[in-house]
Amino acid sequence: MVTDILLRLIWGIASAGVARGKGRNPVVWFIAGFVFEWISLLIVLILPRVGGGSFFSRPDSSGSGTHWRRKIEKTCPYCGQRIIIDDIPGNWVCPECGRTVQYDGSGPVHAANAGALLPQVTWMVTLFAKLAKGDGVVTENEVRQVDIIVRQAFQPNKVQLKQIMATFNQARYSAETFEDVAHKLYLIAGGRRDFLTDTLTALLAIACADGVLRPEEDTMIRGAAAIFRLDGVYEQIKAEFFNRVHPEEQTVSLDSSYQLLGCGPSDSDEAVKKAYRRKIKENHPDRLAGQGATDEMIREANQKITAIKKAYDRIMTARS
């Protein structure tokens, strides 16, 4: 009799300990373990973890990196397609139909009665996620930068913010490549230069959130600029962006300046000057006006002339 009670207490304690680790009520599971013994422990072991957490990420114990929860597969109630999500209660976006589904931490996902986001916002956030995951590691600085951009640019309400966060989480595991998403964003935005230019600026801010623009990130954003038909605009954004960075990042700013002029650090001062004059001539507003350029093209030319002059000044200052 005593032995039987002792074993039941052990099963109860074991069940309660596992339940607590999974965010469930330890008292309830202690009682269940005492009554049902090993059956209770087996059930609580296979149940999913519940509880809150950051929508974008879940920091590890050291706080130095990002640990993502395990992935699970569910069926979209709208289109019937299989989707991969993190095992986190909340709203998620189906990559096939673009609709929002709700996951409560256990069982299937359900249709969510939430206000829909504009498609271009969904694809922009997806592009942010693809860039952040591009080097294999999503840092907290990148997540924080995405959160700042989302809140400032879109000013979402609580429902929309949950959808945006769910989109970011899901996009890290979706099958689309960065280039695929950029193409979709370009099409859904109708080629709007202002919107796409803002997207490039946001991508650059996310890439530099850790204090350095890595070559692979630069290549990805440059690829997006080509898809957006904004190759030259990206160089201008980079030149202006790095002109505002801290002094210790001046080397990166000089690299962007050389790229904008189409020359290199090993070129002579005379070669740099010739490259500068050539760029000024190619982009001079008067020359473009004579060729029948639109007002928008003239404005862009003026902006690029300013960027070219700043780039030349930075290079010459660094060489003096």
In the predicted model, what is the mean pLDDT of residues 208-231? 86
Q: Name the fold adopted by 71-113.
A: Rubrerythrin, domain 2 (2.20.28)
For residue 69, what are the β-bridge partners?
none
Lowest mean pLDDT among 26-30, 220-224, 242-246: 242-246
Task: Tell me what pLDDT residue 224 has.
Answer: 94
Predicted confidence band at 97 (pLDDT cuts at 50, 70, 90)?
confident
Query: What are the structural domain ranges in the chain?
Result: 2-46, 71-113, 118-229, 253-319
Task: Tell me what pLDDT residue 182 has.
Answer: 94
Q: Give me the half-sphere count of Cα atoms (radius 13 Å) on the Cβ side of residue 186.
A: 15
In the predicted model, what is the mean pLDDT of residues 149-161? 76
Predicted confidence band at 255 (pLDDT cuts at 50, 70, 90)?
confident
Q: Pick the residue with more confidence: 184 or 22? A: 184
DSSP characters over 86-117:
ES-SEEEE-TTT--EEEE-SSS--EE---PPP
Predicted confidence band at 221 (pLDDT cuts at 50, 70, 90)?
very high
Whole-number average pLDDT of the chain:
76
Q: At what angle do helices 140-154 and 119-132 cross, to 10 degrees?
A: 160
User: Do 71-113 and 253-319 share a fold?
Assistant: no
- Whether residue 175 is predicted with pLDDT greater than 70 in this model: the reply is yes
Distance CA 164, CA 117 (A): 8
Distance CA 32, CA 19 (A): 11
Compute CA 204 distance to the chain's CA centroid, rounded to the nearest angstrom. 11
What whole-number percentage of the chain has pLDDT above 90?
9
For residue 313, what are the β-bridge partners?
none
Contacts of 271 (CB under 8 A, 6+ apart): 263
Predicted confidence band at 249 (pLDDT cuts at 50, 70, 90)?
very low
Distance CA 312, CA 293 (A): 26
Structural contact between residues 207 and 150, judged by C-beta atoms closer than 8 angstroms: no
Burial 140-176 (b: 16+ CB within 10 A, else e): bebbebbbebbeeebebeebbbbbbbbbbbbbbebeb
DSSP characters over the chain:
-HHHHHHHHHHHHHHHHHHHHTTS-HHHHHHHHHHHTHHHHHHHHHSPP-----SS--B-TTSSSB-PPPEEEEE-TTT--EEEEES-SEEEE-TTT--EEEE-SSS--EE---PPPPHHHHHHHHHHHHHHTTTS---HHHHHHHHHHHHHHH---HHHHHHHHHHHHHHTTSS--HHHHHHHHHHHTTT-HHHHHHHHHHHHHHHGGGSS--HHHHHHHHHHHHHTT-HHHHHHHHHHHHTTS-GGGHHHHHHHHHHHHT--TTS-HHHHHHHHHHHHHHH-HHHHHHTT--HHHHHHHHHHHHHHHHHHHHHHHHH-
Structural contact between residues 264 and 282, judged by C-beta atoms closer than 8 angstroms: no
Predicted confidence band at 128 (pLDDT cuts at 50, 70, 90)?
very high
Predicted confidence band at 116 (pLDDT cuts at 50, 70, 90)?
low
pLDDT digits (tens, 9 = 90+) for 184-205: 999 988 888 888 888 998 999 8
In the predicted model, what is the mean pLDDT of residues 154-179? 83
Query: pTM of the entire structure?
Result: 0.44
CA dihedral 253→254→257→262, nearest 10 degrees, is: -140
Task: Tell me what pLDDT residue 223 has.
Answer: 94
Which CATH architecture group holds 253-319? Orthogonal Bundle (1.10)
Give the residue among 128, 138, 103 at the shortest CA–CA distance from 185.
128
